[in-house]
């Protein structure tokens, strides 16, 4: 007897960890596995290939499913975006007999958050980017140009501006802000000028600068005017990212679903208003429905119907924070 | 017979070259020497010491002046600013019997440009900084916090903004600008997105980005609206640096002398208006009177009178572009 059911493997390959699921087309999750980072640029092709093939081995073996029953591997990968990079990953999987879909990890975050439906996501952690999908399944992105050329509204942007305003107070260009004292205490320095060599020697990394964003949220709650300016500007920039998407995708509806993803939105109450203000549409903020790995799985389906979404709701709930 | 005349050595120690003069207190230049870079941070203490002592040897030998006749070595050094760095340089010279004055190279640019008189300089090349001196000989600075935390209005700032606006056009956030085509042609890329890996891999250095400023000046002349926005903003930022100085130094006069120094001001006609607009004082733009090495010499004098300035005018003119 031939098993007709075919399975899909969804992979969320990030810079700190890689999550993968094996599920059937109805959305039933058969196996799940989490391994180390899979940033293609950092790991290199050889290491990346090994990680990927081990992952597939593990998922199929633990679920007693033959590799020939896997109809598709659907991947969202950090550090992959350009066509030649996608082609290389396709090549790796093609060599061992798998059909694949390869996208950047932001795309599966979009698919997961909106359950494959039209809408927009803003992703803001250390960096920032916005993505959207319209009802013709067209995808657009804006931002994500990195800490020198972009990442407006990101954690790095907020933390960097805290430092800039503190230095402006120090050299007489800016007004007084409680951020100066908070930064000095946080970084254990006695003079704000000391941040300068820390930044350029990279003893303060981009992640460290991003972490200063929490001081800005705290100063905002204490009614600091500069913190208010920084968060307003950050929210506006994030809104402008999303608005660019909305114009490009020519959304018909005047009401657009939007999900906010990433560390910055842990304290999103300070950012919602300026985001809304930057976008002349009705924005319907919704909680992300699924994690990115489910987005990868959804991307691998030919058609997403309500049945599979409901099954996935149930499955994800069952797994709890395990995804 | 004892020669009573005492001499001063002035040193302009930059990141690309070091210029030094030996002159008497009346401003007569006896010897001049140019050698390689003397950035203290880059060269390290040992190499820096060798360069400095060789320079003093060379100047005294070629002018047949005894080291005991040197009353002071007055230095403006790139990469030196903090008290401990100054102390180390004092120590090097003290060990071999010299009295010294040590400042950052921006200070001698100020002293040289204004001939030791009160006023403000804005220095804008790859980076940007403003300095000023009031009639109580108090010196203040603003800006100069480097390419991540500051350098507003600098060549890097202008070039970076050209890239940012081109990427904003590309991802749907910004309006059309001829800068996009100019950058693509200049960098020999077929898609503006290709600048992103060039920047983060540092194949495009900070100097390369600064060099893109010339495209912005060119686009401005061709009436590009975005180039106009970038240069207006740059001029405003440079003006705000200067205004911070003016407030800190509490200038009495409503008319303040200001010199503009650095590569960005080769095309200063586009920047003068926004600089003026940012400062609610009468600004009297003056050409820098002397090069920084003369500023170092002036810093070494106990008292600057009109006689010595006139002699220096004559001496510098005689040397032509040799300084």
- Mention every residue, 6+ apart, whose C-beta is less than 8 A from residue B64: none
Is the pLDDT assigned to residue A245 strictly greater than 90? yes
pLDDT of residue A1: 47
The listed CATH number (3.10.580.10, 3.30.465.10, 3.30.420.40, 3.30.365.10) that belongs to domain B7-115+289-322 = 3.30.420.40
Residues on chain A touching B172 (C-beta within 8 angstroms): 140, 142, 244-245, 247-248
Contact with chain B for residue A248, Cβ under 8 A: yes
Instruction: Give the CATH number of domain B118-287.
Output: 3.30.420.40
Count the Cβ atoms, other than its own, within 10 Å of residue B268.
Answer: 16
Average pLDDT over residues B129-138: 95
- What are phi and psi for residue B215, nearest 5 degrees? -65, -35
Separation of alpha carbons B232 and B237, rounded Å: 9
pLDDT at A313: 94
* Angle in degrees, 0-180, between the axes of helices B45-63 and B83-95, rounded to the nearest 10: 50
The verdict on a CB contact (< 8 Å) between B200 and A245 is no
Q: Which residue has the higher pLDDT, A97 or B15?
A: A97
- Which of the residues B82, B148, B241 would you substitute to probe the A interface, choosing the one with the greatest number of A C-beta atoms within 10 Å? B148
pLDDT at B4 over 60: no
Give A223 to chain B, closest Cα distance, Å: 24
Instruction: Quote the pLDDT of residue B271.
Output: 94
Distances (CA, A) of B78 to B32, B46, B86, B115, B210: 19, 16, 11, 20, 19
Percent of chain B with pLDDT over 70: 98
A293/chain B closest Cα distance in angstroms: 26
Quick check: B173 and A143 CB within 8 A? yes
Q: A169-225: per-residue pLDDT in tens? A: 999 899 999 999 999 999 999 999 999 989 998 999 999 999 999 999 999 999 999
The ipTM, to two decimals, is: 0.83
**Residue A27 tokens, joined:** 């959305």
Q: For A37-68, what is each residue's pLDDT tens digit?
A: 887 777 788 888 999 999 999 999 999 999 99
Average pLDDT over every residue of B53-79: 93
CA-based nearest residue to B192, from B220, B161, B221, B171: B171
Give the closest-approach CA distance of B89 to chain A in angstroms.
19
Give contacts of B243 with chain A, Cβ < 8 Å: 173
User: DSSP letter at B188?
Assistant: T
Mean pLDDT calculated for residue range B3-11 = 83
Span B8-33, mean pLDDT? 93
d(CA B283, CA B180): 35
Q: How big is chain B by its Cα radius of gyration, in Å?
A: 22
pLDDT higher than 60, residue A4: no
Q: How many CB pairs under 8 A join A and B?
A: 69
Burial of residue B245 (CB within 10 Å: 0-12, 13-18, 19+) is: buried
Alpha carbons B55 and B35: distance in angstroms, whole number = 8
Q: What is the pLDDT of residue B87?
A: 93
pLDDT over 70 at B131, yes or no: yes
| Per-chain mean pLDDT for chain A | 92
Residue B263 DSSP class: G
Burial A192-226 (b: 16+ CB within 10 A, else e): beebbebbeeeebebebbbbbbbbbbbbbeeebeb
Mean pLDDT of the residues in chain B: 92
Q: What integer is the mean pLDDT of A99-118? A: 95
Residue B256, both tokens:
């303040």
How would you class B258 by CB atoms within 10 Å of its CB: exposed for 0-12, middle for 13-18, buried for 19 or more?
A: buried
Chain B residues with CB-CB distance to A173 below 8 A = 142-143, 240-241, 243-244
Verify whether the Cβ–Cβ distance B149 to A171 is below 8 Å. no
d(CA B270, CA B118): 26
A273-282 as b/e: b if 16+ CB within 10 A: ebbbebbebe
Among partner residues B142, B163, B173, which is closest to A171 by beta-carbon distance? B142
pLDDT at B323: 65
- Taking an 8 Å cut-off on Cβ atoms, the answer to whether B146 and A240 are in contact is no
Contacts for B53 with CB less than 8 Å, ≥ 6 apart: B96
- Note the helical H segments in chain B: 40-43, 45-63, 83-95, 105-113, 146-149, 155-170, 179-187, 195-200, 206-211, 213-221, 225-249, 272-277, 292-300, 306-319
Q: Region A75-98: what's the mean pLDDT? A: 90
| Candidate from B141, B149, B200 with C-beta closest to A146 | B200
Checking phi first, is residue B60 left (phi over 0); if not, alpha (psi -120 to 50) or beta?
alpha
CA distance B93 to chain A (A): 26
For residue A21, list its beta bridge partners: A10, A32
Q: What DSSP assignment string belongs to A57-98?
A: HHHHHHTT--GGGEEEEEEEETT--SHHHHHHHHHHHHHTT-
pLDDT of residue B3: 52
Q: How far is CA A153 from CA A2, A139, A237, B204, in A?
A: 53, 22, 6, 25
DSSP string, A115-126: TT-SEEEEEESS
Determine the Cα–Cα distance for residues B120 and B259; give it in Å rounded to an integer: 7
Tell me, yes or no, if B202 comes closer than 8 A to chain A by beta carbon: no
pLDDT-derived band at B34, boundaries 50, 70, 90 = very high
What does the alpha-carbon distance between residue A313 and residue A245 come to, in Å, rounded to a whole number? 27
CA distance A2 to chain B (A): 48
Return residue ranges of chain A for CATH 3.30.420.40: 7-115+289-322, 117-288
User: A163 vs A177, A178, B141, CA distance in Å?
Assistant: 11, 12, 18
Q: How far apart are CA B21 and CA B293, in angstroms?
A: 7
> Which chain B residues contact residue A171 at CB under 8 A?
141-143, 145, 244
Phi, psi (rounded to 5 degrees) for B136: -95, 15
- Report CA-CA distances (Å) from B203 to A227, B51, B187: 35, 31, 11
Query: What CA–CA distance (Å, rounded) separates B305 from B309?
Result: 7
Choose the closest CB to B149 out of A142, A199, A243. Answer: A199
CATH 3.30.420.40 residue ranges of chain B are 7-115+289-322, 118-287
Mean pLDDT of B99-111: 95
Q: Which of B143, B148, B171 sits opposite A143 (nearest CB)?
A: B171
**Annotation: CATH topology of A117-288:** Nucleotidyltransferase; domain 5 (3.30.420)
- pLDDT above 60: residue B2: no
Query: Could you give the angle at which helices A225-249 and A213-221 cross, rounded to 10 degrees?
Result: 120
Look-up of token digits 């913190």: A227
Average pLDDT over residues B184-203: 93
Whether pLDDT at B40 is above 60: yes
What pLDDT, in 10s, does the model give residues B211-223?
A: 999 999 999 999 9
Q: Which residue of B has its CA nearest to A196?
A: B145
């Amino acid at each position: 007897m031939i098993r007709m059911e075919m399975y899909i493997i969804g992979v969320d390959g990030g810079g700190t960890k890689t999550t993968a699921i094996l599920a059937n087309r109805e959305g039933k999750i058969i196996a799940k596995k989490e391994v180390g980072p899979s940033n293609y640029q950092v790991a290199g092709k050889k290491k990346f290939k090994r990680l990927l093939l081990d992952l597939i081995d593990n998922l199929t073996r633990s679920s007693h499913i033959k590799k020939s029953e896997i109809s598709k591997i659907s991947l969202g990968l950090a550090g992959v975006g350009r066509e030649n990079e996608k082609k290389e990953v396709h090549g790796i999987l093609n060599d061992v007999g798998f059909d694949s879909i390869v996208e950047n990890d932001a795309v599966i975050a979009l698919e997961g958050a909106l359950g494959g439906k039209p809408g927009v996501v803003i992703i803001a952690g250390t960096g920032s980017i916005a993505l959207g999908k319209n009802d013709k399944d067209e995808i657009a992105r804006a931002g994500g140009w990195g800490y020198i050329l972009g990442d407006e509204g990101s954690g790095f942007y907020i933390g960097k501006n805290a430092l800039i305003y503190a230095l402006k107070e120090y050299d007489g260009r800016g007004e007084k802000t409680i951020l100066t004292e908070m930064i000095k205490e946080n970084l254990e320095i006695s003079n704000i000028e000391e941040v300068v060599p820390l930044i350029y020697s990279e003893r303060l990394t981009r992640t460290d600068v991003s972490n200063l964003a929490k001081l800005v949220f705290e100063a905002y709650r204490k009614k600091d005017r500069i913190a208010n300016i920084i968060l307003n500007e950050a929210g506006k920039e994030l809104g402008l990212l999303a608005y660019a998407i909305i114009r490009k995708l020519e959304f018909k509806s005047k009401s657009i679903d939007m999900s906010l993803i990433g560390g910055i939105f842990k304290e999103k109450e300070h950012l919602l208003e300026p985001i809304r203000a930057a976008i002349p549409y009705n924005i319907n903020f919704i909680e992300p429905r699924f994690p990115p790995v489910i987005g990868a799985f959804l991307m691998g389906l030919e058609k997403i119907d309500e049945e599979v979404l409901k099954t996935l709701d149930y499955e994800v709930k069952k797994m709890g924070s395990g995804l």
